[in-house]
Structure 1
Amino acid sequence: MKSNPSIDPQRIGFLFNHDELHQVAHTAPIISALQRHSPTTRVEVITSSDRQAEAVRQFLDPTCPTPAFWSIRPHRWSRLAEKMLGQMVPLNRLSSLRRATELFRHFDALVVPETTTTFLKKNSEMAKPKLIFFPHGAGDRSIGFAPEIRLFDYVLLPGEKTRDRMLDAGVIRPDNHRIVGYPKFEAFAARPPVKLFDNDKPTVLYNPHFDPLLSSWFRFGEQILDYFASQNDYNLIFAPHVMLFQRKILASVEHRLLRFRQRIDPRYNKLDYIHIDTGSTRSVDMTYTAASDIYLGDVSSQIYEFIHKPRPAIFLNSHGAEWQGNPNYEHWTFGPVLDDLSGLGAALDAAMPLSDTYRQTQARAFAYSFSVVENQSPAQRAAVAIVEFLDIPR
C-alpha cells in the first residue's frame, strides 16, 4: 500500500527518561529499523540527559536520516528534593514527564523501556500519545509483571516466558502485545570480546542486584570480595547492577525496605586479578557477561544475557527465599544455590565443566525467554509490530 501524501505522517518518539543508561540498548536499536521499514514516519528521540542522547546515537544507522532529538529535564527543585531524599523516589523522572506533557501531545506514540511513563496515563485523559512498552530485560522478578503494565496500549516482548507470565498476571491481553525478540543482543553481537586480565585463570562475574531485600551484596558482598582477594585460582569481575552504587539509600517499594549504600574498600582495586566497575558503560553493554566463565549472583536479569552461551552459574540466597517452584526464582535452577558462603569454594571448584543437566536447563530457559526468527532481527520485528499496531500506511 502506498502512503497518502495528504495524510500527515505519524510521529513516534523513543523516550529515555532514566537516571542511568542500562535501558537504552533495549529500544534504541529499533529506531533505525523503524526508519527503514516506514520511511514516511517521523521517528524522533526524547532524552532527559546528554549522556542518554549520546548513548542513543551509538545505535543509529548512519545511512538513515538523523532523527530529531528533544531534551526534557526535571525542574531544579525536583533535583534538589530527590538529592535530599537520598534518591529514593524517582522525582526527576516524574518531573521530566510532567514538564514535557505538552510536547508528548504532539506524538502519536511513545516507545519506552520502563513503567514510570505510565504516569502519563494515571494523571491525564490524553488520547495521545499511545504508550508502547518494551521491558528492559527478561528476568524473573515479580516487579517485571507489575500492575502498571496494564496501562500501556501495546507491549513488545522478548519471548514466550515474559508473555505467558504477563498474561497470567493479567497485565496484557491477547490482542495488545507481540513477541519480537531481544534487540539488545543484536546491538552488541558484532562487538569483539574484551580481555581484562593478563592471565588464563577462569574469570568469575559477581553481579549482585540493587534491590535491598533480594540483593546478596548487603549480607555477603564484603565477604565475597575478601574471598577472592585471598585466593589465586580465579579472576573476579565485580560489576553489580548499575543502580547499586548510584544512590545513597536503596529503596524497594515492592518490599518496603530501605538500606544505606555500602562503600567498597579501596584495597581491592590494587589487585590485578580483581576488576571493579560500579557503573560504566561496560556494565550495561554485555562486556562482562561475555568476558566471564562463571556467573555469581542473585536475581539480576543479566543471568539471561549470560546464558546466551551456557556456562556455570552459582546463586546466593541471602534473604532466606523459599525459591523452589517459585517462578520469580526460575533462574536459580541454572546452577547450585548457596544459603551461606561456607560452600563457595567447593561450588567454584565443581562449577567447570558445566554439567549436562545445567546446560540443558539453561538452553531450554534461553529458548523460552528469547524468540529468534531466522533472517529477521528483533529490531526489524519490533518495527513491523509498531507500524501494524498504529496502522501506519506503507
Structure 2
Amino acid sequence: MTTGKPGDRPRIGFLFNHDELHQVAHTAPIISALQRQAPAASVEVITSSERQAEAVRSFLDPACSPPLFRSIRPGRGARLVEALLGNMVPLNRLSSLKRATSLFRQYDALVVPETTTTFLKKNGGLDRPALIFFPHGAGDRSIGFSPEIARFDHVLLPGAKTRDRMLAAGVIRPDHHSIVGYPKFEVFGDRPPVRLFANDRPTVLYNPHFDPLLSSWFRFGEQVLDHFAQQSAYNLIFAPHVMLFQRRVLASVEHRLLRFRQSIDPRYAALDHMHIDTGSPRSVDMTYTNAADIYLGDVSSQIYEFIRTPRPAIFLNSHAAEWRGNANYEHWTLGPVLDDIADLAPTLADVTPLPETYRAAQAQAFAYSFDMDHRQPPSHRAAAAITEFLMRPKPDQPGPTG
C-alpha cells in the first residue's frame, strides 16, 4: 500500500461526522472486512459524537480486533452558534473537520459517507489523506451528483446508475471509482419484517424528505396524517427522513430556501393504526421499508431500498415539479404521482395488486441502481477496492519494476 513514508504501517480512517446516524450503515460494514483484507493496515474509526461511535460498534465483527476509536467533537462555540441558528447550518461538522486537520494529516486515507469532508481539500489544502467517498443512498436527487464529488480521490458506488450519472456530470473519472454494491443491504436487507400493528390491514409507509423545496411534508403532511387518521382500511407508518424533525428550520443550500417545520399533533400517535417515528434507529435500519406494503413519499432514496421487493409506491408532487423525463425524479416512474391529496384514496385502491408495468419498472430500476454480486458481500468488495486504490503508485512515485 502507498503510505507516507517507506515502511510505515498504512493508516485508514473511517470518518463519521454527522448529527444523525443515517449515514453509518453505508460505510461501517466495510471496517471489519478491510481489517481482514489488509491486516498490515491500521484501520481506525473517527467520530464526532458518542452516538456515532456506539452505532459504528454495532456493525463490527467481534472476531476482529476492535479498531481504535478517536473523537473529534466540535468546539463548544460552534455547538452554541449552530443551536442558536436552529441547526440549519452544519457548523458542528465544519468545526470538527477544522479542529482535527492535524489528526487527518496522519492518515493515508479517510473513508466518508458525505461530502462535507471536501472542506479539507478546499480550505485545508490537504494532499494527505486521500478522501474515499461512498454516497449514503442510491437516490436520484441532483445533490447526489454535486460538483463537490470531483474533489474526492476515489469514489465507491452502489451500482451502474450512480456511476453513469456521475460520469455524465463529470464528477468522477473512469479510473477513480469502483462499483462495490450496497453494504447496507448486507446488514439489514434480509431481516424479517417487524409486526407493528395488531391487525392484518395493509400498511402504508409515509416517508417525506427534509429538503424544504422537495419535501411533501410542508404542503401535504398534515393532510396525509388526517387522511389516515379518519379511515380504517390501512395502517400508517409515519417515518420521515431523520433530519426532518431534528431541525426547526430546514435550509437548502442547493435551492436557496428556508422553511419552518411544523410540529405533529400528538393525537395521531394515540391511534392504534398509526405508528409515528420522527427519528429513531428504526428510521434508518430498513425496519419500515421491510415492514410496509405500500410506499408513499417524494424524493427520499429510501424508495430504492423499498423496491428491493417490488411493491406499490405512490409519490406526492407538492412543488409542481416538471418531473417527466427528468433524471432527478426517475423514481417517480415506479408508481403513480399525485398533485392533489384528494386523489390519494382512489390511488391506494388502484395500486394493489401492483400493476405489472410498475413491477417491471421497479425490478429494472433496482438492478440498475444496485450491483448485486452474490459471490461476495458488498463490504468485501469495498474493502478490496480501497486496498487496490491505496496500492496504486502516487503520481510522483515510480511503479513496480520488472
- TM-score normalized by the length of structure 2: 0.95
Give me the whole-angstrom Cα distance separating, in 2, the residues matched to 1:189 and 1:84: 39
1:294 equivalent in alignment to 2:275: no
Identify the residue that residue 319 of structure 2 maps to in structure 1.
319
Letter in 2 for 1:46: I
Give me the whole-angstrom Cα distance separating, in 2, the residues matched to 1:189 and 1:290: 8
Identify the residue that residue 235 of structure 1 maps to in structure 2.
235
Report deviation, 1:138: 0.2
Report deviation, 1:192: 3.0
Identify the residue that residue 195 of structure 1 maps to in structure 2.
195
Give me the whole-angstrom Cα distance separating, in 2, the residues matched to 1:12 and 1:238: 38
Matched length: 389
Kept in 2, the 8 Å contact 1:18–1:48? The answer is yes
Report deviation, 1:392: 7.7
Identify the residue that residue 269 of structure 1 maps to in structure 2.
269
Give me the whole-angstrom Cα distance separating, in 1, the residues matched to 2:32 and 2:62: 9
Report deviation, 1:373: 1.3
Give me the whole-angstrom Cα distance separating, in 2, the residues matched to 1:269 and 1:335: 28
Identify the residue that residue 35 of structure 2 maps to in structure 1.
35
Question: Is there any run of 5+ residues in structure 1 with no aligned partner, and where?
Answer: none
Kept in 1, the 8 Å contact 2:101–2:124? The answer is no
Letter in 2 for 1:293: D
Kept in 1, the 8 Å contact 2:121–2:127? The answer is no
Give me the whole-angstrom Cα distance separating, in 2, the residues matched to 1:300 and 1:157: 18
Deviates more, 1:269-278 or 1:186-195: 186-195
Give me the whole-angstrom Cα distance separating, in 1, the residues matched to 2:79 and 2:12: 28
Letter in 2 for 1:108: D
Identify the residue that residue 71 of structure 2 maps to in structure 1.
71
Q: How does 1:224-263 map to 2 (within 5 A)?
A: 224-263=224-263
Give me the whole-angstrom Cα distance separating, in 1, the residues matched to 2:125 and 2:327: 35
Letter in 2 for 1:279: G
Report deviation, 1:307: 0.2
Give me the whole-angstrom Cα distance separating, in 2, the residues matched to 1:190 and 1:346: 32
**Secondary structure of the residue that 1:110 maps to in structure 2?**
strand
Letter in 2 for 1:8: D
Kept in 2, the 8 Å contact 1:48–1:71? The answer is yes
Give me the whole-angstrom Cα distance separating, in 1, the residues matched to 2:351 and 2:93: 42
Give me the whole-angstrom Cα distance separating, in 1, the residues matched to 2:373 and 2:314: 31
Identify the residue that residue 17 of structure 1 maps to in structure 2.
17
Kept in 1, the 8 Å contact 2:334–2:361? The answer is yes
Q: Deviations for 1:39-86, whole angstroms, at most 9, x for unmatched residues?
A: 111100000000000000010000001000000111101111111111
Letter in 1 for 2:245: F
Kept in 1, the 8 Å contact 2:155–2:172? The answer is yes
Identify the residue that residue 343 of structure 1 maps to in structure 2.
343
Identify the residue that residue 166 of structure 1 maps to in structure 2.
166
Kept in 1, the 8 Å contact 2:130–2:153? The answer is yes
Give me the whole-angstrom Cα distance separating, in 1, the residues matched to 2:389 and 2:235: 48
Identify the residue that residue 180 of structure 1 maps to in structure 2.
180
Give me the whole-angstrom Cα distance separating, in 2, the residues matched to 1:127 and 1:137: 27
Q: Deviations for 1:267-321, whole angstroms, at most 9, x for unmatched residues?
A: 0011000000000000000000000000000000000000000000000000000
**Secondary structure of the residue that 1:268 maps to in structure 2?**
coil
Give me the whole-angstrom Cα distance separating, in 2, the residues matched to 1:261 and 1:273: 24
Give me the whole-angstrom Cα distance separating, in 2, the residues matched to 1:189 and 1:77: 40
Give me the whole-angstrom Cα distance separating, in 2, the residues matched to 1:370 and 1:125: 34
Give me the whole-angstrom Cα distance separating, in 1, the residues matched to 2:67 and 2:187: 18
Report deviation, 1:190: 4.7
**Secondary structure of the residue that 1:345 maps to in structure 2?**
helix
Letter in 1 for 2:294: I
Kept in 2, the 8 Å contact 1:82–1:90? The answer is yes
Kept in 2, the 8 Å contact 1:212–1:218? The answer is yes
Q: Deviations for 1:101-150, whole angstroms, at most 9, x for unmatched residues?
A: 11111100000000000000001232210000000000000000001001
Q: Deviations for 1:355-379, whole angstroms, at most 9, x for unmatched residues?
A: 1100000000000000011221110
Report deviation, 1:348: 0.5
Identify the residue that residue 86 of structure 1 maps to in structure 2.
86
Letter in 2 for 1:265: D
Give me the whole-angstrom Cα distance separating, in 2, the residues matched to 1:126 and 1:157: 24
Letter in 1 for 2:250: L
Identify the residue that residue 156 of structure 1 maps to in structure 2.
156
Deviates more, 1:192-201 or 1:10-19: 192-201
Give me the whole-angstrom Cα distance separating, in 2, the residues matched to 1:392 and 1:45: 23
Identify the residue that residue 397 of structure 2 maps to in structure 1.
none
Kept in 2, the 8 Å contact 1:10–1:392? The answer is no
Identify the residue that residue 213 of structure 1 maps to in structure 2.
213
Identify the residue that residue 111 of structure 1 maps to in structure 2.
111
% identical aligned pairs: 76
**Secondary structure of the residue that 2:269 maps to in structure 1?**
helix
Question: Is there any run of 5+ residues in structure 2 with no aligned partner, and where?
Answer: 394-402
Q: Deviations for 1:314-344, whole angstroms, at most 9, x for unmatched residues?
A: 0000000000000000000000000011110
Letter in 2 for 1:120: L
Deviates more, 1:312-321 or 1:192-201: 192-201
Give me the whole-angstrom Cα distance separating, in 2, the residues matched to 1:89 and 1:66: 34
Report deviation, 1:193: 2.0
Kept in 2, the 8 Å contact 1:108–1:130? The answer is yes
**Secondary structure of the residue that 2:268 maps to in structure 1?**
helix
Give me the whole-angstrom Cα distance separating, in 1, the residues matched to 2:144 and 2:296: 21
